[in-house]
Structure 1
Amino acid sequence: MHAPRIAPVEGPYAPAIREAFDRVMPPGMEPLNLFKTMAHSPRVLQRMFAGNLLDPGPLSLKDRETLILRTCARCGCDYEWAVHAALFSRAAELSPAEMAATRADDPDALLLRVADELHDGAALSDRTWEALSARYGPGQILEILALCGYYHAISFIANGCRVAAEPFARATGAQGATGD
């Protein structure tokens, strides 16, 4: 286990940072280490929060979390995978098998394939696009693409800064190592 490369900002927080944390964190929950790390750049923090896509959107919670978990797993981001597994998997009604599939080497589910193709080539094959278009509308497809891109950026920050695991979330080995 490596030490964080950028230590999280500790409170008391500047008013704008406190307000940002209050908007995204459940009452009484300490801000995530990722957010406290990002607080070193209020501009980055605010922009990331503005595009967080965790509000109720055009996708089901289950579809959204499946995409997030697979994207984080493919990026080797144990930190974010574990946070989402701990905070959202139950509400998303993801079974143990579905959770395991987000880390499988050869997934066959459509959304896992979408995340893989975007991760591997920053594009979708015609076959995958056709399957996606048969199941989702244009607004949902745009949300899918944005979610995968957003969680690549989150993974880059968490992995690059070596953000420390949250006490409530245990990383259990997403594909790829996050350390050197």
Structure 2
Amino acid sequence: MSMLEEVATPDISAANPEIKPSKKPVSRFRLVLSRLRSTPRFWVGIIGLGLISLWAIFGLVPNAWNYTDLDVLNMGASPSSLHWFGTSDIGEDIYAQTIVGLRKSLIIGLLVGPWRPSSPVSWAPSPVTSVAGGTRPSSGSSTSCWSCRACSSSSCSAAFSSRCPGLR
């Protein structure tokens, strides 16, 4: 028998009528989704995103002020029952502005989030953030700046050693 010939598989559904062979293989998406649903972090995230989305949609309903309304009698007022987060210097309700900002942030995040991995524009910040993130001292590291981690401490130049507290 050659490798290309199919091997006959026994029909297990004939022996046990409760077992039905699957008609379609499980897709990667369904497999990942089933694994995600079994973790509590997934449900905490979904519930949190749902609550924040509901707050963004219905957050202005109990508020009497729109984000464009000006209250000239309460300019720069602190939080009160009339203005929950207070007002700006020109009398705009800060709570209403916060809800509108939340809406915009959610829309941008939900539109750009799935687009991010496939965009070359999103790859550009990676080297910048890796260098900028390296300027903070890492815990347990003997060197405390990115320039000292970029070169070993034995070959670090005098210019770097004068600025690096890890090599003093």
TM bucket by the smaller chain? under 0.3
Say which one has the larger Rg.
2
Normalised by the size of structure 2, how large is the TM-score? 0.24
* Higher share in helix: 1
